[in-house]
Amino acid sequence: MEAVPDSTFPALAGSLSASGRRFAIVVSRFNAFITERLLLSAIDGLMRSGAKKEDIGLVRVPGAFEIPLAARKLAETRKYDAIICLGCLLRGDTAHYDVIVNEVTRGIGQSAQETGVPHAFGVLTCDTLEQAIDRAGLKMGNKGFEAALAAVEMASLERAISSQPSAVSEKQVPRFARNDKSKKKPQNPKTKRK
């Protein structure tokens, strides 16, 4: 039997306070019947967490495929503490759904990893319209609200991690061993070309 970890072990965790933080929401217009419900619930989640209306930016894109690019551009501005991505993809009779789902998921994840700005994934990937309706507030809560809370928590966690002191100071790492492209590495006189 596997031992359960001690829950009193100290750990960094984000809070659910959006106060003083800025958020951007990227929402797809395609399947607007669903995405507008996600959007309203995401805004509700941010406001209930302490965000102010003026600290929430909204960008509308044609479809889910366009979400990653808009999210990336917003993250690169460094104006936002987190990006919330909202959309709805419904499976059809062709492979188009699978291609779009994979690209949207990859693009959002890649944007978050490369920019360092948290991205919350609120893109529904459903087989039927009924499933989407359920996930947009009917039976299974609202994924827009959940994405907003995830964004708030990750923005807080990112700040908590960033404020941690480094285990290794710059003085302990020789300049030539650093991964800093702006500084030239000292050349060893024995290896200089003549």
Q: Is residue 127 part of a domain?
A: yes
d(CA 100, CA 112): 18
Please tell me whether residue 73 adopts helix, strand or coil conformation.
helix
Q: Is residue 7 part of a domain?
A: no
Domain count, the chain: 1
- The pTM of this model reads 0.80
Burial class (CB in 10 A: 0-12, 13-18, 19+), 137: middle
Q: What is the pLDDT of residue 102?
A: 96
Domain hosting 104: range is 23-162
Q: What is the pLDDT of residues 34-45, one digit of tens each?
A: 999 999 999 999
Q: What is the pLDDT of residues 129-186, one digit of tens each?
A: 999 999 998 777 899 999 999 999 999 999 888 887 765 555 555 555 555 555 555 5
Q: What is the pLDDT of residues 64-84, one digit of tens each?
A: 999 999 999 999 999 999 999
Q: Is residue 48 part of a domain?
A: yes
Q: What is the pLDDT of residue 190?
A: 56
Sheet holding 82-90, edge to edge: 56-61, 23-28, 82-90, 119-126
Active-site position among 96, 106, 139, 185:
96
Q: Is residue 118 part of a domain?
A: yes
Asked if 96 is an active-site residue, the reply is: yes
Q: What is the pLDDT of residue 167?
A: 59
Q: What is the pLDDT of residues 91-117, one digit of tens each?
A: 988 888 999 999 999 999 999 999 999
d(CA 34, CA 29): 9
d(CA 2, CA 109): 32
CATH number at residue 100: 3.40.50.960
The DSSP call for residue 171 is G
Q: Is residue 52 part of a domain?
A: yes
Q: Is residue 55 part of a domain?
A: yes
Q: What is the pLDDT of residue 194?
A: 46
Q: Is residue 168 part of a domain?
A: no
CB atoms within 10 A of CB 90: 16
Q: Is residue 9 part of a domain?
A: no
Q: What is the pLDDT of residue 53?
A: 96
pLDDT surpasses 80 at 15: yes
